[in-house]
Structure formats: structure tokens, C-alpha cells
Amino acid sequence: MAIAIGYATAHDMHDGSNGLNGNVGAAGAAGSSTYFHIAYGTSSSGANFSQSPSGKTYIGTYVDSTSADSNTPSDYAWVLFVGADGEDGDQGIAGNNGSNGQTSYFHIAYADTSSGGGFSQSPSNKNFIGTYVDNTSADSSTASDYTWTRYVGADGTNGNNGTNGNNGTNGTNGKKVASGLVYYQVAAGSAPSTPSASSYQFSNNTLGGLTSNWSTTPPEVDVGNSNKYWTSRYQSTESSAGSNTGSVSFTSPTALFTFDGVVSFTNSNTISDGSNSLTPLSAGSAAADVNANSTTINGGKITANSVLANIALQVGSGNTPSSKAFEVNAAGVVWTDGIIGGIFSANNLNVSTAAAVTGTTRQAHPGVFGQVPSNYASTSAHGIRGTNYYTVGSRVQTSGLIGAANGYDFYAEGAGSNYGPFTGAHDCLVANDETVSMGDLVVDVSCIARRGLSNTIFSVEASSSANQVAVLGVIVANNGALSDRKPAAFIEEMTEDGIVMSSDYESAKNNYKIMAVNALGEGQINLTGEGGNLLAGDLVVTSSTAGKGMKQSDNIVRSHTVARVRESVSFTSTDEEKIAACIYLCG
């Protein structure tokens, strides 16, 4: 031991003034969790690598930021922890007898806290390592037997948010659509030929090459002319987005009758043509007739710019609310026992809450009746016709005709063909998170609602395997969210005040989109070459390709038969897909 000796001289000492604070050091880097890993081997390179020390002479360790232990020996630093046997020494002097020696064992465990909370023999997701040595080979499960040390650092502070990604590219422009009316400029007793045009220019809204005597400008109508004036509706879709031109289609001409100017009535004894007024009628004589609500006009023609009235008009005796044949109330509502004329046209452009034409009956007669007499019959004559031109993509927004009754919705009582041409479709529901394509086959999943014996509606999904017997038919239209529609199967009751929907509808309306699926009649179907080429007349079943059909192995109509093709179809491979005309057989 070395000892140092010295001398000290006493001096007068006193406390000095405090020094200035030092500069604030730079912020340290953000911390990250670290993990201490242990493995065992039989050489300094980690031979016979293991997570167990049994029979091993080397221990390997390393530290990183990953909780999982590496299985690569080169990741560890290896140290001999069981020495090799030395050479035998000379015989020593015999010592006193000692007690029996015992084998020592090194134990390791892992935990969440410094007291061993969350104790485990696995290091997965643990922050503390515990160790102890005893003479028992079995590991203790008592946390207090171990000495605990943190070997996974605390989480560092969160890094800064990354910068926003670049904006996506703009989508392609959609095609423009235009429609309107053209007018035949010459009065004619019969309909002229349907007009045509070579193109429609969207840049200036003009029709190129329009048939002679047709114009987009209405003609001046001579009311006294015994002939008729005619109109046709056109529709054009842009050939390609941004081309500003498209082909044009026209409807067959229909007769047109037009009123020019406004005719109105007012409660007054003054007669005016809009610019000039006659002297008011005095009491007595003609004035008495006017004031008694009885006015007689005898003349071949009446010309007036406007006649104003705010009184009700009643004519004859009949079945209006006031028992008249014709009646107009002060609000402008008109009742009449009958209208006879060449053409009647109605619209609800200014009254969006009501139908354009409503027929109501409480007698043993139809609400609306259409008839074509036999002496006027032709292939173009129809008792009642409904046409609806409004579509968006594949979606059929509304219908040409809708029938709703507590008996038959539609009843065919004619002696001829009841329906033709005919394709029968069903409503079906597809979950909002499912996707099916037009022309794909779908199979029933579960019944969502049922109404009486004639109406059910099922959820469906795309077919997914060969020969599925639950196949329903072919998807032909996506009609949008169920919440925007009122399918027949969900109708609880129909009253004069409107339609009452069922509780099933309220439960399902936000979970599905409603689609139309063809199941009977004629149409087309998506096919794949999985079953081989098809000849006209071959039957179709589902394939293992989602939503696609394939050739049935025989020509016997079975429970899983979907359709019969009407044309031959050839494939170059088993996964090639095509569309073909067919007759649906699902029903």
C-alpha cells in the first residue's frame, strides 16, 4: 500500500462570488427503445446456435432496437463462459474432508417492471431482464427470486409528420349529352317521315344536315288550319369526350298544338283587350245578366290579349264537386266529366309534387282507359304507352309503366300474345362493400324481405364455383342505394295517402345497393372458356371464375343450369372471357 505525506500552509480563505450560468447544451437526439439479446453456442463463432444454455460453452450477446431475437450467429459477440478442462496438476496435499459440492445454475426471466410485473420466460414485448444463480436446474416462477435490470429503453419522442403526397391527376372528361325538339314547318294532315341529321355540334348547339322542312324554331301556328303541326324529340351523345360532336337519334313525329299568349280572367264588369277598355256596364239590362253569372256570347270569333278573372267557372250539370259538367275553382283546379279532342298534353314542370296526369275512379270503371278502335288500328297504335328516356350509365332510374294493386299488378286479358318481346328481371340486393359487373352471374345469399306469396327480395353475390345451384341470373342494372328506392318486397301497405314501407326496409336500406337481375327471357351473359367452346343451343352453368358462366357438360336442363346460348362461342384459352346472346332459364 502506498501512502503520500505532505505539508499544508494555512491561508485566509473566503467564498468567492457565484460564476455565470453556462450556455444551454444542444438538444439530444430522439431516443429509441433498445433490446439486449442472449444466445448460446459451442464455439466463438456461435456453432450449434441455441436460445438454451444446456450443453453450451459460449454465450453470445448484442443490443439493437428490435424486440425479436436474431437467429443469425454473426449478429452476436461470443465469449467463453465455460472454461476448457486444464491439465491435471500434481497431487496436492490432502485437505480436510469438505461438504458435498453442488452444481450451480444460471436463470433468466423477463418482465414489464423492475419488480417483475408481467413475469415471463419469453422476452417478447418485455422491458426488464431478471437473473439469479442457484443449485436447482428448474427456473423459478417467483419474480422476487430474480434481480431485475431494464434492458429495453423507454420510447423516444415522436418524429415530425411527413410531408403531404402530391395531388393525383385529374380524371378523364365525361361525354356530353344533349336533347331537344325539332318542328315540322309545314302543316300536314298526316305525320311526316321521321327526321334525321348528320351530326350534333355541342359547341354551338346546332344540328348538321337536318332534314328539309324541319327546324329547331317552332312555326307560327294558324289555329284555323285544318291540318296539324308536328314535332320530334332528338337526343345526341358526344362521340368521345371533348370531341364536341355526336350522332343524333329522333323519335317518330307527334302532332303538336300550341297556344300563343296568355288567356286569363278577372272578376270585373270592365272588358279589356290589354290596351283598351270598354265603358263599364251599368246596372240593369246586359249588366244584370253578367252580374247574375250568366253570360251569352254569340259570334264566330273572339280576339283578346287577356281576359282576367278570379271567380270560379261552372258549366252544365254533371259529376264535378259542385255537380257540374265542367268546373274551375278560384285556385285554378279544373274538373270535367269528359275531354274530347285530337291531342291532350299535360306536364308537371311547375308542380314537382304531383303527377302530370292522375286518373281516379270510385266506380266500376278504370281510372285511366286507353282504346284503339278496330277501324283505326295499326302496328303503331297502342291503347296506352309509357316511355322513359332517363338513364345514368347502367342505372334504370324509373320505369315506363308501373302497376301496383292489391290483386294483379298487371293483368293480360287479350286473345293474342300476352307479352312480347319478353325478358323477366328480379330485384336483388348487393352489400355496399361487394362489387359485381354488368353481365355477371349472381347467386342467392339470404332472404332479406318477403311480402305475401308473390314478393321476396334476396341479397346476392357474384358466383364463385362451378355448377352452383343457387344461381339466380345475370346482373343488368345498378339502380343505386336501396335508401333511394322502394322495391315491392319492402312495401307494407298501399293507401290513397301513399306507400308505407316495412320495418325490414328500415333495417336494410343503408346496407345495400339495389340491382336488377335477368332470370327469364332473352338477353346476354358473360362467359369464360373454362368449359370449352360452345355451339348455339349449348347450356350454361357457373364457372370457378367469379361472375362468369361456362359450357355445361351435358345438354340436360338441371337445377344449376343458367341459360342456353343462341350463338356459337370460341375461346383461345380457358380464362378468356366473352359475352354472348342467350335465353335465360333460371325463372
Burial grade of 62 (CB within 10 A; 0-12, 13-18, 19 or more): middle
Per DSSP, the three-state class of 5 is coil
pLDDT band with cut points at 50, 70 and 90 for residue 57? confident
Per DSSP, the three-state class of 291 is helix
pLDDT of residue 430: 96
Q: Which of 51-65, 80-94, 181-195, 414-428 has the lowest mean pLDDT?
A: 80-94
Over range 347-375, report the average pLDDT. Answer: 68
pLDDT of residue 526: 96
Tell me the percentage of the chain whose pLDDT exceeds 70: 67
pLDDT of residue 214: 92
The pTM (predicted TM-score) of the whole model is 0.41
Over range 28-44, report the average pLDDT. Answer: 80
**Residue 246 scores a pLDDT above 70:** yes
pLDDT band with cut points at 50, 70 and 90 for residue 8? very low
Cell numbers for 394, please give them. Answer: 347502367
If one counts every other C-beta atom within 10 angstroms of the C-beta of residue 184, the result is 23
Sign for the pseudo-dihedral over CA of 58, 64, 67, 71: negative
Q: What mean pLDDT, rounded, does the chain reach?
A: 79
pLDDT band with cut points at 50, 70 and 90 for residue 158? confident
Q: How confident is the model over 179-190, as pLDDT tens digits?
A: 999 999 888 888
Cell numbers for 217, please give them. Answer: 324554331
Task: Measure the CA angle with vertex 152, ends 148 and 158; round to 5°.
Answer: 145
Most confident region among 90-99, 111-120, 159-168, 338-347 by mean pLDDT? 111-120
Q: How confident is the model over 507-551, as pLDDT tens digits?
A: 999 999 999 999 999 999 999 999 999 999 999 999 999 999 999
Over range 382-405, report the average pLDDT. Answer: 61
| φ, ψ dihedrals at 483, nearest 5° | -65, -15
**Residue 304 scores a pLDDT above 80:** no
pLDDT band with cut points at 50, 70 and 90 for residue 160? confident
Beta sheet of 313-315, edge-to-edge order: 313-315, 326-328, 334-336
More confident residue, 273 or 202: 202
**Cα gap 441→580, rounded to integer Å:** 13
Q: How confident is the model over 409-463, as pLDDT tens digits?
A: 666 666 555 566 788 889 999 999 999 999 999 999 999 999 888 889 999 999 9
Q: Cell numbers 299568349 correspond to what residue?
A: 261
Over range 162-171, report the average pLDDT. Answer: 81
**Cα gap 166→19, rounded to integer Å:** 54
More confident residue, 18 or 6: 18
Over range 273-288, report the average pLDDT. Answer: 55
Over range 557-563, report the average pLDDT. Answer: 95
**Residue 397 scores a pLDDT above 80:** no
Q: Which of 8-17, 209-218, 289-298, 458-467 has the lowest mean pLDDT?
A: 8-17
**Cα gap 250→473, rounded to integer Å:** 33
pLDDT of residue 490: 92
Per DSSP, the three-state class of 416 is coil
Q: Which of 56-60, 290-294, 423-427, 550-554 has the lowest mean pLDDT?
A: 290-294
